[in-house]
Amino acid sequence: MASLLQGRLPISQDVLLMQKGTMMRKVRSKNWKKLRYFRLQEDGMTISHARQVGARAKASFSISDVETVRNGHESELLRSLAEEFPLEQGFTIVFHGRRSNLDLVANNVEEAQIWMKGLQLLVDFVTNMDQQERLDQWLSDWFQRGDKNQDGRMSFHEVQRLLRLMNVEMEQEHAFQLFQAADTSQSDTLEGQEFIEFYKALTKRVEVLELFGNFSADGQKLTLLEFVDFLQEEQKEGDHASDLALELIDRHEPSESGKLRHVLSMDGFLSYLYSKDGDIFNPSCLPIYQDMTQPLNHYYINSSHNTYLVGDQLCGQSSVEGYIRALKRGCRCVEVDVWDGPSGEPVVYHGHTLTSRILFKEVVATLAQYAFQTSDYPVILSLENHCSWEQQEIIAHHLTEILGDQLLSTTLDGQLPTQLPSPEELQKKILVKGKKLSTLEEDLEEEEELETELEGEQEPELESQFESETQELSPRSKDKNEKKSKAILCPSLSALVIYTKTVSFYNFTHSKEHYRFYELSSFSETKAKNLIKETGNQFVQHNAWQLSRVYPSGLRTDSSNYNPQEFWNAGCQMVAMNVQTAGLEMDIYDGLFRQNGGCGYVLKPDFLRDTQSSFHPERPISPFKAQTLQIQFSPFPWGESWNGAG
């Protein structure tokens, strides 16, 4: 199937050479490295592979599947093979969603550069497509998957099977009638463009036709005044709707006569709705537009749960790739579960499971490289420490030496603060969230005395204090001997916890009476839901002066997610998600953090920043003022924000 974008695809020498094909090594592990022939197909959107030149090729992936392209230095796997292959010859193709990365090694640096630059050029082109182009390309990709024999056509039976894979419901007789209508070649099959027209007819949105009819006097077109009415009433465009209407008609009306008469046909109307012009997202909210000088606890913070996992919670792979992906998508709070490792080096993995292990120092090096590529605002490292005293010292050493000036190791001005600093004040800083042996006040006022006490008589007392709080570190039961050997917190690691000291939660009254603004608690989703239901207003007031973190239930072994909205409604700032798992919940999450420049911080509403707030998330308004809002929409297949009248 020829690309629907043929003629609009970017042409460069790199792309032309990719279409000729290249033999490269596909690398899956240290022991699995095989030569394959990779080639960009004529459609400019599909990469195929074969065992050798001239052999039968299979579609490997679509450019639409690719998130980005990285050089060999950024690949864990290729770095482990650096003695065998120069890293300059390697590159990594990173896909959207859970699909594993594809590591390739070219025969020379020049070939690697051709593919890296050519792929990135095509990825950027796809990223900048408008909604209609994305829909067409998405359907084109599905057609390629359904066309098993690659002859460029599909029978009705094949189309039915493909639609089931696409989760499209259909009534067979109606679908067959539409199939026949789309079969303009009368071959009892559908070619690429015919399939797209068939799909659009099958999934036609009746509510859009009704909306058009509500404003069109003759049901055929929207006059300039009718389109202005639509923009003002449905799209809330305001006083500038008249000028905007003329611009939109000129941009989206396909017929020249329509443009001259200043009218918009149904095709032009659909083109507008599919475009960025019709996006429900307010473009003024795309850049950083909020006040970034308020205390950290006044913001929702983009947060990741068990960031090192790229699969499930029991047997999944641990990889620095989890941190790279999370940070690149705007996460500002990442989690590290760190345990004693061999040869004195701490390791990161999901304790008491079969998940693989990675070195803690590799995670820290990844943070140093990627923490501020997407956003300059602070990153919180949620440290779940299960290590012995000796390896805690190694943790502190790696954090200090690898992060350097990026690590916040003292208060900003050396003085005792009265509230948490702002994202603005903490730019380009990494904060350690974890246990602490003392208060911040004691750190600042009695540092020398504290060091003396830790070396002397106070050690048993500190051990008892830390043991009382260590239960929060892991939801799993521990062997008593193991707990005893890991109960003492190393002072050098404790000293790196400044504004984000974790404490056990008992109740809101206890927190208010005994805790400080820089101390925070973590809640399982079950605990948080119960608190919202039973003491929702207290939870809101608590989150107005102190940070809270919510994490998924341990029963979510498949790395599924909860709906973050109910925890945001209570003002919880760090609602941690399994970001490796796509779905409605992550769509909601990405939707909130798409605004404000995608910087990872979104200012909470004022009533969720007020310590005297009367708001209760379970009873948000008086029942006498309650209103029912009905919204009908059909999410677009690629998971972007939906467009339309709103």
| Catalytic site positions | 305, 350
| Tokens linked to 377 | 């605002």
Q: Spell out the alpha helix ranges (H) of 241-317.
A: 241-252, 256-261, 266-274
| Tokens linked to 285 | 């909210």
DSSP state of 55: S
Contact 330, 600 (CB under 8 A): yes
CA torsion, ordered 456, 460, 463, 464, to nearest 10 deg = -150
Pairing assessment for the beta strands 548-551 and 574-577 based on DSSP bridges: parallel
Contacts of 15 (CB under 8 A, 6+ apart): 9, 40, 44, 118, 121, 122
CA torsion, ordered 584, 586, 592, 595, to nearest 10 deg = -120
Identify the burial level of 328 via C-beta atoms within 10 angstroms of its C-beta, where 0-12 means exposed, 13-18 middle and 19 or more buried. middle
Spatial separation of the C-alpha atoms in residues 418 and 499, rounded to whole Å: 11
DSSP state of 573: S
Contact 62, 46 (CB under 8 A): yes
| Secondary structure of residue 50 in the 3-state scheme | strand
Q: What CA–CA distances, in Å, run from 245 to 80, 259, 429, 484?
A: 58, 11, 46, 72
| Tokens linked to 398 | 């790696």
| Secondary structure of residue 27 in the 3-state scheme | strand
Spatial separation of the C-alpha atoms in residues 361 and 395, rounded to whole Å: 8
Contact 329, 374 (CB under 8 A): yes
Spatial separation of the C-alpha atoms in residues 585 and 588, rounded to whole Å: 5
DSSP for 164-231 reads HHTT----HHHHHHHHHHH-TT-SSSEEHHHHHHHHHHHT--HHHHHHHHHH-SSSSEE-HHHHHHHH
Spatial separation of the C-alpha atoms in residues 577 and 584, rounded to whole Å: 12
| Tokens linked to 519 | 């101390």
Burial 255-275 (b: 16+ CB within 10 A, else e): eeebbeebbbbbebbbbbbbb
Spatial separation of the C-alpha atoms in residues 388 and 488, rounded to whole Å: 8
Contacts of 598 (CB under 8 A, 6+ apart): 330, 374, 375
